[in-house]
Structure 1
Amino acid sequence: MKSSRLVSILLLLQIRGRMTAAQLAQELDVSVRTVYRDVEALHTAGVPLYGDAGHAGGYQLLAGYRTRLTGLSAGEAEALFLSGIPGPAAELGLGSALAAAQLKLRAALPAELRDQADRMRSRFHLDAPGWYASDDEVPYLTAVADAVWHGRVLNIRYRRWKEPTDVDRRLEPYGLVLKAGRWYVVAGPGPRTFRVDQILELAVGEGKVALPVDFDLAAYWQRYQADFHARLLGGDALVRLSPAGAARLTGAVARALADTGTEEADGWTRAVLPIESVDHAHREFLAMGAEIEVLGPPELRARLAATVRELAERYAGS
């Protein structure tokens, strides 16, 4: 474990340049004291590594030093082949580059690791989009990706869900995210998130994009998702569920059932479930048929009762 960590310190400093002990500790998930001991071990081994004290200090390698430690473990080789998703790479215009990179990586691996990587690729296949996701055309994806990579401003015509639906926006692209088969561009000012397939027109604008020094795409997306779900499920419904109905719940609704559910004498479970809106809950709960009884809010219960009466009258004469 220690030898692997020492290699990681070398590679981090080789890639990123100067890093503080605190930054290395956070990256490696160890204490700062452990980093101090590891750095001392590298010194003892003759690695030209030095540190500067003070606010702007940190550790760095002597200029021009490059480690030749490029070996991969079996797990690392498997993970690299598993991470290559051909669909998104092709959408970005990198399909042939990905195939060539995997071919070169495979050729460079020792025979044992090559066999393990081939077995991983033959037995695991990643298909990110859901079953019912449509293959939306994303005509401007390559242009957006190019703007992200080269720091170019974009002027776009964008279609959103509320009025006015078609609006003009000036974007300073920070990064691209692929979520459940859909591409999103995160852009300033803000930053804000836009679906790439909703871009109707696009032109490269004047000026260069200056990425904020403290911006972290993965951290932003995590916060964005948490905020999205918090806004999405802004209400509650008091319900009773049969065992079959309870088994159909997934995600946040299933977690709410586990947190709030109490079993009643007839085997049904009473619980408070999060809902997006009365309209949305009306559609979702109606699809569960007789496996659910909605006790509140009153508006939702009345809407469901009216729909059930209408259906009963419609089918009564059949």
Structure 2
Amino acid sequence: MKQELKVTFLYCLVGILWILVSDEIISTFISESDMESMIYFQNVKGIFYIVATGLMLYVLLKKHNDAMNLKINELKKYANELETTNHELAQYINLASHDLQEPSRTVISFLTFLEKKYDNQIDEKGKNYIHFAVEAANKMRQIILDLLEYSKICKNDNLEKVNLNSIIKEIKNQFQDKIKETNTTIIVEDLPTINTDATLIQIIFKNLIDNAIKFKQENKPLSIHIEAIDKKDEWLFKISDNGIGIENEYFTKIFVLFQKLNQKDTTGTGSGLAITKKIVTNLGGTIWVKSVVNKGSDFYIKLPKNEKK
């Protein structure tokens, strides 16, 4: 039975029962001679009122439900169209990234071959030109790969228990050469085990640690401090460093794809923090930064606990 019919039937049933019960109550106060005609009149009037208002209620409920169903169907249609568009866009990005990488690989290959074959005939200036060209081609290829990685980030509902201490330990092992070269110290408070996506959470911390190392102050040992704060239904993570810092006006801009504040940095593409933000958002969290120039930066990440109830 449709919802509007159920509500209307219940309304009429309750109304009629009330009329019949009220007759019994009234009969205790009115003489028997007047009772019969009065009850008959009340019953007819009451039932007519209940049925009339019930029909009106049915019409209103049906109109409301029809409008709601129409909106729901429209939303389903738009959702299906959006899913199809996203799928087509993902396919396009995959194909385009493959096609765009091929020219850069060809350029790198031929320039490297050219330098090796004609090494004795090319002066230092020519070798520098080749080096710059290869570096630019590699950077273009990395931008394409970063764009592909950014487009593939999506929400994952298959969460698992992840020990963040193990995640940081693994990242430190991956960065051990870089940590040693830059005289970096990573201090980690006892981090929790959380319900999340292991791969995505590793990318978050890896990008933030890499970013801190990349923008350390010259001639000064880098110190990175990682801690977690229990906020009842959320975890608040704080990743601090004593690097070069960020000016206030760039606190939002640094999370935009391919935005580089330090143009002297030739190794990065400006996508690391954008990828980090997208992952945090897909995990249901937020990320922001506080910083003082020449003193360091504090990156804050707030993530839901996702505890199973």
The TM-score with structure 1 as length reference comes to 0.21
**Structure whose residues are more often strand by fraction:** 1
Tell me which of the two structures has the higher relative contact order, counting C-alpha pairs closer than 8 angstroms and 6 or more residues apart. Answer: 2
**Structure whose residues are more often helix by fraction:** 2
